[in-house]
């Protein structure tokens, strides 16, 4: 297993979405509730919080994980143990080109930091599209690893999170607390 990345940039590789030929799934516990991990057979294609607004069901024909999701599960365990501050995984979220641009921008938000929907819109070259960024953020199929919880309102307020504002606050507080002694 690779060592945890103490700080720095995520090494999340976005793969093109593929037809799901051998979908697999795994449920893992976490401090914010059970997480459902989905794979398209080659990359992580979903990470859903139990009871989230856009939570996925296990796809028909999907098989329980045979180990392909092991690295994602290990990195999430390290994250929740306060030992991992960036992820290094291949992901294949399914979405429009605009959504995928937004999701790529999300992985650039450092651990423990936040930014606004407007800042993300400017980052992707669409400075007037903050509402569209919010909608794309809300449809992110790979929560935590593609850190949509780090996006806040322009005023600094916690706004919309598919997993619920309470979980968003927990994740942000966890990251700030864990990062505190290292800053």
Give yes or no for a contact between 124 and 101, defined as CB atoms under 8 angstroms apart: yes
In this structure, what token pair is assigned to residue 7?
């700080």
Q: Is pLDDT above 60 for 7?
A: no
Q: With cut-offs at 50, 70 and 90, classify the pLDDT of residue 8.
A: low
Among the listed residues 92, 148, 151, 171, the single catalytic one is: 148
Instruction: Based on the residue annotation, tell me whether 148 is a catalytic residue of this protein.
Output: yes
Opening angle at CA 29, ends 24 and 33, nearest 5 = 110
DSSP secondary structure letters along 51-95: T-TTPPPPPTT-EE-SSTTHHHHHHHHHHHTT--SS---EE----
Domains and CATH numbers, the chain: 13-91 (3.30.160.70), 97-182 (1.10.10.10)
Using the 8-state DSSP alphabet, how is residue 19 labeled?
Answer: -
pLDDT tens across 61-104, in order? 889 998 889 999 999 999 999 999 999 999 999 999 999 999 99
Q: With cut-offs at 50, 70 and 90, classify the pLDDT of residue 147.
A: very high
């Amino acid at each position: 297993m690779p060592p945890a990345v103490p700080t720095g940039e995520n090494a999340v590789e976005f793969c093109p979405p593929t037809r799901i030929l051998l979908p697999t799934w795994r449920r893992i516990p976490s401090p914010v509730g059970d997480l459902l991990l989905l794979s398209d057979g080659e990359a992580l294609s979903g990470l859903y919080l139990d009871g989230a607004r856009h939570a996925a069901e296990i796809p028909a024909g999907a098989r329980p994980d045979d180990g392909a999701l092991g690295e994602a599960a290990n990195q999430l365990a390290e994250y929740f143990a306060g030992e991992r501050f960036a992820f290094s995984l291949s992901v294949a979220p399914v979405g429009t080109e605009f959504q995928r641009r937004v999701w790529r921008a999300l992985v650039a938000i450092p651990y423990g930091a936040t930014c606004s929907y407007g800042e993300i819109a400017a980052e992707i070259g669409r400075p007037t599209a903050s509402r569209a960024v919010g909608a794309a953020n809300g449809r992110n199929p790979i929560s935590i690893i593609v850190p949509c919880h780090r996006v806040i309102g322009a005023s600094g307020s916690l706004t919309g999170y598919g997993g619920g504002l309470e979980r968003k606050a927990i994740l942000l507080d966890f990251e700030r607390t864990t990062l505190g002694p290292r800053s």
